[in-house]
A and B are shown apart, each in its own frame.
Chain A
């Protein structure tokens, strides 16, 4: 065989091998593309989580549970099930989120419950409307919010004064509290929105260098800088709930709703305090 023959033979062999490699690679293409889509969505949620923490959590809560008297919950069954009907939105929920985040809200749609920060109730976030974020970042935030869809629970909204309200007298006699119920209430009322982590409200849980709220309440009343009237840990916690402005932990603003004295029943507050006292 001459060199020409050998090279033609080897060349054909190589072309065949190369083609079969491409073919075998091609069989997996559908799956690869699906995998890459999933990866892209995962990345989007991760980036959205970072942006949400930086831009949205101050008002909507670190876990999106909302803050009564300020901003509505997003990690909420109602938000996913009935919000679009409520506002007669014709597009998808993603469109609704992207649109709201992009252009903000001049006026709140529920001024009684969630007046927001005044005017505008919510600032615009898209750079096209004077905000800090790019289109893809707004979409990442939407992806993060939409990821709550399957796990979101119903957040109950205390709409007005309840019977047997606790009032604002911190020396009031409270019934026996149930810590387990208190823990559930912390989520459904929305306490957990701010008090899980430090950016908005002081965290309840013990963290490195800081004891839990139960322990802290007892220490606080002995603190010379303390300006409130509580004599016991229970009273301190009650005071913080119904009259949050009396004493502010240094470095925090008074963002808490000021009507818990009217909207929370004695039993609920007792449960909450019982739960908080377990957090040492």
Chain B
């Protein structure tokens, strides 16, 4: 008896001590309560200890106690805001690790990326995730804004939240763009050179702005350091601050907007009441967020492994060589498209400023009190038109649109682009049989009788070359034109390929010649 009683006492005592520790760590939840929580069961104590967590724990204090049930419907928010912040956290964490390996100087930056790729286990994966996360952040920010626009959630008391959201959109775009320069490759260097040259078009202070961004008339050590500091210090801090404000407004002040169908027009009181039922943060919202986080991480890892998304890396930045097809990051293609339509100051500075002003003033311009799509036909029409305009302008921003390249240059660039891998780079090394291949002289079939399986890739490249040159001759772009493809054994494991196109212009023979060297280990990038 006595011994039993003692044991029971002891168990109770130890149990009590453990419970106390657990309560200290979980900011007030006991063992039993914790168990009930992860099982999705109702609270075990009264008053509800789950609310206490929100007052005692800092991290829970900044989260809401509940959302209204109607606002948590998936098709209302699509969790776009959540994923935007998810990507921001991914960027911060991967970015911090990447900083360990990075040196912001023109002589070292590109090397440090190469070292990351060749010497750091999971280095490539980190870089890929950071890049994919950046794209995701831009996409989800834009979609989040579009959703807010379509559900009319920027109106009345939420107009300040809309403004902070616009600031965040700007920060996101500049964050992403400033990261563009850091690898210091051709892609980075020229995209940012073109981007910063936009400042020049600003009236009065254009030159000064440009100088401020680049740190010198051309981007070099100073410019790189500025973009680096912008990317890793100023903008992340600004983002954290504005995200906090934006989020505070949502979680503490006005919550997520309810879908218009629950609050506008003749809605039965029971339905409104049901929509306003509280969904507690603990455990419902928290488990949902952890689940979404797992989903997001899964998607990112899937993207960089099975789907093979890789952050691009071109050859090292060379201020002396402007690549043929330079383009801005995709989220600025619309701006490039606009620039093709008119004056740089008008299209590059004045119009974008007006667009931003309209977005900022939207809650005041749109005086329609309704939020339902059916009661805002004008706003919806404007929104759809704006999206269409963005898509069309983006298409016009592509280098394929409206930029004339000489026919010979175009043909060779399409076969063997200066950057990245073209058809020529994809020819297996063994198929690069030394020889002279003349258009309309050398047959395009059976080029390599000495190879057992022939050389289909080489034949296909020579075939395209023949076809394109002949087509250009027919169009009249290359009068009397002909071409030759030379392959030479240049060194051990190294071939030299020469494309030479000869045509007549104003009774003069013109020649375009392009050499490239191909090494066996280049593989298929």
Contacts and interface: CB of A to CB of B under 8 A. Distances in A.
A38 B494 contact: no
A209 B502 CA distance: 11
A22 B301 contact: yes
Nearest to B493: A147
A53 B515 contact: yes
Nearest to A45: B519
Contacts, number: 134
Contact of B40 (A5, A22, A29): A5
Interface stretch (B15-23, B44-52, B120-128): B120-128
A24 B39 CA distance: 32
A197 to B, nearest CB: 9
Interface stretch (A12-20, A95-103, A228-236): A12-20
A25 B520 contact: no
B296 to A, nearest CB: 9
B480 to A, nearest CB: 14
Given A8-B287, A10-B291, A29 B122 contact: yes
B302 A49 contact: no
B522 A43 contact: yes
A272 B288 CA distance: 84
Contact of B38 (A4, A26, A37): A4
B119 interface: yes
A192 to B, nearest CB: 13
Interface residues of B, number: 53
Given A17-B298, A50-B515, A3 B117 contact: no
B434 to A, nearest CB: 12
Contact of A25 (B305, B493, B525): B305
Given A4-B39, A21-B301, A151 B287 contact: no
A280 to B, nearest CB: 15
B294 A39 contact: no
Contact of A43 (B288, B294, B306, B519): B519
Contact of A39 (B123, B438, B523): B523
Interface stretch (B107-115, B168-176, B199-207, B328-336): B107-115
Contacts of A135: 107
Contacts of A8: 38, 287, 290-291
B40 A136 contact: no
A19 to B, nearest CB: 9
A11, A38, A39, A136, most chain B CB atoms within 10 A: A11
A148 B493 CA distance: 10
A33 interface: yes
A186 B517 CA distance: 25
B438 A208 contact: yes
Interface string B509-525: 00000011111111101
A7 interface: yes
A32 B310 CA distance: 13
A36 B124 contact: yes
Given A4-B287, A8-B291, A49 B494 contact: yes
B295 interface: yes
A94 to B, nearest CB: 16
A47 B522 contact: no
A46 B522 contact: yes
B125 A25 contact: yes
A83 interface: no
Nearest to A13: B294
B471 interface: no
A40 interface: yes
A125 interface: no
A82 interface: no
B492 A33 contact: no
A154 interface: no
6 contacts: A15-B298, A24-B305, A39-B525, A42-B523, A53-B515, A135-B107
Interface of A: 2-5, 7-8, 10-12, 14-15, 17-18, 21-22, 24-26, 29-30, 32-33, 35-43, 45-47, 49-50, 53, 134-136, 144, 147-148, 150-151, 208
Q: 8 tightest CB-CB pairs across the interface, nearest first?
A: A4-B40, A42-B519, A2-B40, A42-B521, A7-B291, A14-B294, A49-B517, A46-B517
